[in-house]
Every structure is written in structure tokens, then in C-alpha cells.
């Protein structure tokens, strides 16, 4: 059954495009990148502020902080199927126009929480906001990615995912220090107001971008579980490759502190610089060379980065390892995205994007606790050894576990 779906994906461009040039593709993607950036500022800015608010202002325990932080990723995972189905049936633009106002509404609940003087009631309203932000993210992110593929054609899936990934990462990276500054210098009410404003900026941009037609046969789309069956190898490889990223962002600061090293912030900067620069200069490689080749080479680089972090005798080696981890991880997502999108019919592309993103969500949710258990038993270095093992497993899935690669242009 899988082979029957490959040819339409390789032959048919989106009905809204006719093989745009690289310059035309950039112009068509730019507003969607801006939408993702605006929407993800609403996700990233509150993250570092929430612990300060829940624990420092409302005076709840660290356990409550953990639940508040984890609620949004959980509801995001649970709504990926809904978002993908909605995109395929109603179009990606409609999904974005629905998701961004929901994100703004979640911000309004943050504002309401900050205005309530009774801590338990304030926490309950905050919980509602976190729950609402999950489906909001699912809708606008699945929508923008599918919208981008529709605007420039499935033959440019890799560049769509590369650019939108840059927007996500940049928004999260900028949002974190901005959220800390706003919380420390103003209050959580200001954090909530910013969370309202950023999605509305994205909504204003989205309202000016023309829609792409819903794919023919969208009402008879492939069932979600069958789509997952088509892309689970690509999603599994991505999930394994994402584990080092999750470990690095969660524990590299504590790793440096445990060794008495300075420069933990530079390690995160090195990772971010490697990640973004590779996507900027080499983001077209998955489309040009094929996803499997690019992902395999990327994983070798990522594994080398984890090896350096594991055996680092000093901070210089660890900084190099963090940077190489960013360089290697950068193109795995768009590379596996190219391979996944080749294996599904156009009318189920939204479901495929939603399912594909869910693999990253799951990794983000389980890696931290598992790595924490490993660190408790064997120390911080063990987490990076596990990251190296995850890269090796992902490489094995890509090289040996995906069968024959669909012929380009077949």
C-alpha cells in the first residue's frame, strides 16, 4: 500500500504553485516563517516565567511547577491528530486562523490568573490557559507547515521545514531570556499580555496570505493510524535523534557546574549557532540530495558531538561537542520530513505533518525524566553517552530500516 502513495507525492506539486524558483519560494515562505515566529514567542516567552510565578508568587511546590510546564506539551501531543485532520479537511489557512486566536485566549487566561488574588483559583485559571495553548500550537504549527508545502510544492518540503524550524528555535531562544526579564522587571501580568499580543501579530500576517486549495479527496483521507504506519520509521529516527537535543538543553548547565567549568551559557550558544547556521546555508540539501543521505551524515556529526561531551576533559571539548550536536541535529528534522511526506498522499499531508511532529513531542516529554534517572545512577556524563547511543540507533534505522528510498522524480 505504501508504494501506491509514493508516485503522487513525487509527481504532483501543489495545485497553487508551478515549480517556483528559489527566490519565489523564499518570498512565499517568508510570511509563514513570520507567523511561526510570532506564534512561538507566545509559547517560549512564558516558559521561564512560569516557575517564577507558580513557585515564587503563588507559593506552590516544584511538583506543581512541573505539572504546569508539562501540561502544554501533553495537550499538544493529544491534539496532533485533530489538528492534522482539520488541516486536511478545511485547509491549512483555516487551521492557522483558528489556532492563533486560541493562543491569544490562552494568554488572556494567564492575564486573568495574574489578576486573581486567591492562589488556588489563580493556579486553576493558569491550568486552563496551559491546556488551551496545546491545541493552539498544534493547529497553527501543523497549519503553517502544510501551508508552506502547499505554497512552494512538496518538492521543497525540506526547505519549508528548515525555515520554519529556524523560526521556532529563534522564537524559543529569544522568548526565554525575554520572559525572565519581563518577570523580574515587571510582573506575570505583563507576560500574559505579551502572550496575547504575539499571536495577534501572527494572525494579522496570516489574514493577508492567500489560502491554498484543499487537496482533492480530503474527505476520504487515509486514517491517522495508517498514516503513522507509513511514516513511523522516519518519525522514530527523528525521535531518537532529538534525544541529545533534549538532554543538552536540560542538563548541560548542571553538567558544567558539576565539573567546576565556566561557560555553560556558551555551550547553549554554540548549539544554537551551529543549528541555525546549518539550516540557513544548507537547508536545501534534503530536497537536493535526498533525506536519508543528509540525515545519515548529520547523525554522524551529532554522534561526534555527544562523544565529545561524554569524554570531555575540559570545557573546550564540551563546547565543541555542544556545537557539533547543533550542527548535526539541525537537518535531521527536515531530512526525515522529506522522506515522510513522500510516503503519504496529498490529501493526508496535514495528518502526516501532525503525526510527524508528535514524535518530537514524545521525545521532549520522556527524555528529561529518563535522563534524570540515568544521571542519578551514573552521573551527568552518562546522559551524553545515552545521547550517543540514540544517534547510533537512529543512524541504523535510517540506513538499514527504511527499505529502498523512493526514486527522485519517479
**Residue 254: Cβ within 10 Å count:** 13
Are the C-beta atoms of 325 and 383 separated by less than 8 Å? no
- At residue 393 the predicted structure's pLDDT band, cuts being 50, 70 and 90, is very high
Residue 85's nearest CA partner among 219, 216, 206, 210 is 219
Domains in the chain (CATH in brackets) are 20-208 (1.20.1250.20), 221-403 (1.20.1250.20)
Q: What is the mean pLDDT of residues 61-67?
A: 76
Residue 244's nearest CA partner among 127, 372, 389 is 389
C-alpha cell at 319: 563546547
141-150, 211-220, 246-255: least confidently modelled range: 211-220
- Tell me how far CA of residue 332 lies from CA of 196, 228, 291, 407, in angstroms: 32, 18, 8, 20
Are the C-beta atoms of 45 and 178 separated by less than 8 Å? yes
Q: What is the mean pLDDT of residues 202-207?
A: 95
pLDDT of residue 21: 62
Q: What is the mean pLDDT of residues 127-135?
A: 94
Reply yes or no on whether the pLDDT at 389 is more than 50: yes
pLDDT of residue 99: 95
pLDDT of residue 409: 39
Higher local confidence (pLDDT), 351 or 101: 101
284-323 pLDDT, tens digit per residue, is: 888 888 889 999 999 999 999 999 999 999 999 999 999 9
142-200 pLDDT, tens digit per residue, is: 899 889 888 888 888 778 888 888 888 788 778 877 888 888 899 999 999 999 999 99
The two most distant CA atoms of the chain are separated, in Å, by 64
CA distance 77 to 354: 9
The predicted model scores a pTM of 0.72
CB-based burial of residue 346 (10 Å sphere; 0-12 exposed, 13-18 middle, 19+ buried)? buried
Are the C-beta atoms of 206 and 326 separated by less than 8 Å? no
pLDDT of residue 215: 62
Q: What is the mean pLDDT of residues 382-395?
A: 94
C-alpha cell at 86: 482539520
12-26, 212-226, 286-300: least confidently modelled range: 12-26
pLDDT of residue 221: 63
- Tell me how far CA of residue 76 lies from CA of 7, 53, 82, 134, 162, in angstroms: 31, 22, 10, 4, 21
Q: What is the mean pLDDT of residues 80-84?
A: 86
Amino acid at each position: 500500500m505504501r508504494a501506491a502513495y509514493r508516485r503522487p507525492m513525487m509527481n504532483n506539486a501543489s495545485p497553487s504553485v508551478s515549480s517556483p524558483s528559489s527566490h519565489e519560494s523564499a518570498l512565499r515562505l517568508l510570511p509563514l516563517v513570520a507567523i511561526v515566529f510570532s506564534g512561538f514567542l507566545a509559547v517560549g516567552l512564558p516558559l521561564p516565567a512560569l516557575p517564577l510565578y507558580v513557585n515564587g508568587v503563588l507559593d506552590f511546590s516544584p511538583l506543581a511547577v512541573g505539572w504546569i510546564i508539562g501540561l502544554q506539551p501533553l495537550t499538544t501531543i493529544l491534539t496532533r491528530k485533530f489538528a492534522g485532520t482539520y488541516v486536511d479537511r478545511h485547509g491549512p489557512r483555516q487551521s492557522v486562523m483558528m489556532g492563533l486566536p486560541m493562543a491569544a485566549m490562552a494568554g488572556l487566561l494567564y492575564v486573568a490568573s495574574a489578576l486573581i488574588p486567591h492562589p488556588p483559583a489563580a493556579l486553576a485559571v493558569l491550568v486552563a490557559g496551559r491546556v488551551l495553548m496545546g491545541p493552539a500550537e498544534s493547529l497553527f504549527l501543523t497549519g503553517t507547515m502544510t501551508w508552506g508545502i502547499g505554497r512552494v510544492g512538496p518538492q521543497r518540503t525540506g526547505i519549508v521545514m528548515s525555515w520554519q524550524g529556524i523560526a521556532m528555535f529563534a522564537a524559543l531562544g529569544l522568548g526565554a531570556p525575554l520572559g525572565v526579564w519581563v518577570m523580574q522587571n515587571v510582573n506575570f501580568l505583563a507576560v500574559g499580555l505579551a502572550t496575547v499580543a504575539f499571536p495577534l501579530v501572527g494572525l494579522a500576517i496570516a489574514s493577508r496570505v492567500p489560502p491554498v486549495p484543499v487537496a482533492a479527496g480530503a474527505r476520504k483521507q487515509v486514517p491517522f493510524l495508517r498514516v503513522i504506519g507509513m511514516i513511523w520509521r522516519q518519525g522514530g529516527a527523528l525521535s531518537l535523534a532529538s534525544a541529545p537535543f533534549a538532554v543538552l538543553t536540560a542538563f548541560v548547565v548542571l553538567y558544567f557546574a558539576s565539573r567546576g567549568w565556566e561557560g555553560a551559557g556558551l555551550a547553549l550558544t554554540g548549539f544554537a549557532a551551529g543549528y541555525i547556521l546549518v539550516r540557513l546555508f544548507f537547508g536545501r540539501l534534503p530536497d537536493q540530495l535526498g533525506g536519508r543521505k543528509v540525515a545519515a551524515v548529520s547523525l554522524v556529526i551529532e554522534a561526534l558531538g555527544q562523544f565529545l561531551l561524554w569524554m570531555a576533559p575540559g570545557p573546550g571539548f564540551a563546547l565543541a561537542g555542544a556545537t557539533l550536536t547543533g550542527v548535526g541535529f539541525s537537518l535531521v528534522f527536515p531530512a526525515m520530513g522529506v522522506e515522510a511526506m513522500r510516503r503519504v498522499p496529498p490529501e493526508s499531508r496535514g495528518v502526516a505533518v501532525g503525526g510527524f511532529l508528535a514524535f518530537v513531542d514524545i521525545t521532549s516529554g520522556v527524555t528529561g525524566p529518563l535522563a534524570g534517572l540515568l544521571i542519578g545512577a551514573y552521573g551527568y556524563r552518562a546522559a551524553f553517552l545515552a545521547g550517543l547511543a540514540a544517534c547510533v540507533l537512529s543512524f541504523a534505522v535510517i540506513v538499514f530500516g527504511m527499505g529502498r528510498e523512493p526514486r527522485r522524480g519517479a
